[in-house]
Amino acid sequence: MTERQGSSDRSDWVSGVAAASPIVLGYLPIGMTFGVLGQNAGLSSFNIMMMSLLVYAGSAQLVAAGLLSAGASAASIILTTFVVNLRHLLLSAAVAPFLKRWNRGELAAFAYQLTDETFALHAARFPSGRYSKAEVFAVNISAQGAWLAGTGLGILLGQVISDVEPFGLDFVLPALFIALIVLQIEETSQIAVAVITGALSVALLILGVDQWNVIIATVIGATIGVALELWTNKPSS
């Protein structure tokens, strides 16, 4: 590697870390929330940290901690977290066209650290064509590093705090994702699709579809979005 290449890589890493800063600020408190809930569920500090390292799925980890506290069976916990994480199939499919030239090792590393929030950031930056692998991995590593740091702080705070709900930390992750989505909106049709999808997800939740509501609403919303795009871009005869 030449000196110029090394300097470019360092610059890309710095750029990626800077781009990830909003995610880092959101992951620290929500990671703390999981650390506290994990302790309340009876998990050891080692298992809590390993869950954030190996599972690394915010909502699924919080759901698992709640199910453990409720005394749910291992099978029900695995099945529930699997369903909760099915949305990653949609996330990965959306960015796959931009990763065609990546090798299997790079794809595996990217998929391992793909979350809702890093997806939102990547989806906004990939189309530019000037988004290097170094920047991508700097974003992902910074995000997971913040999640692990937050989890560690939560383990320490869990010895003092037993209930995080009064602090409103459970809303940090949805608020962060909403903020990242808003930055991507460029057309009125995108606002319509976002509102329809959100409303449909809430409606399905109220109707009792509490595990599949996000997946179903996303698929329907994406279909509507594609139909609107085809209709608006249809050449006039």
What does the DSSP assignment read for 32-48? HHHHHHHHHTT--HHHH
Q: What is the mean pLDDT of residues 127-131?
A: 83
- Burial of residue 87 (CB within 10 Å: 0-12, 13-18, 19+) is middle
User: Both tokens of residue 42?
Assistant: 């009876």
Render pLDDT for 5-38 as a digit per residue (tens, 0 to 9): 555 778 899 999 999 998 998 899 889 888 988 8
Q: Among candidates 45, 19, 24, which has minimal Cα distance to 147?
A: 24
Taken in order 217, 204, 177, 85, the sign of the CA dihedral is: negative
Render pLDDT for 101-126 as a digit per residue (tens, 0 to 9): 999 999 999 999 999 889 989 988 89
Residue 234 to residue 192: CA distance in whole angstroms: 19
Percentage of the chain exceeding pLDDT 70: 85
Residue 66 to residue 72: CA distance in whole angstroms: 9
Render pLDDT for 163-208 as a digit per residue (tens, 0 to 9): 666 666 656 556 666 766 676 677 777 788 888 888 998 999 898 8
Query: With contact defined as beta carbons under 8 Å apart, do 148 and 49 qualify?
Result: yes
Query: With contact defined as beta carbons under 8 Å apart, do 31 and 156 qualify?
Result: no
Task: Identify the residue whose tokens are 């991507």.
Answer: 184
Chain mean pLDDT for the chain: 83
Helix 58-69 to helix 74-84 angle, to the nearest 10 degrees? 160
**Which residue ranges make up each domain of the chain?**
3-170, 185-237
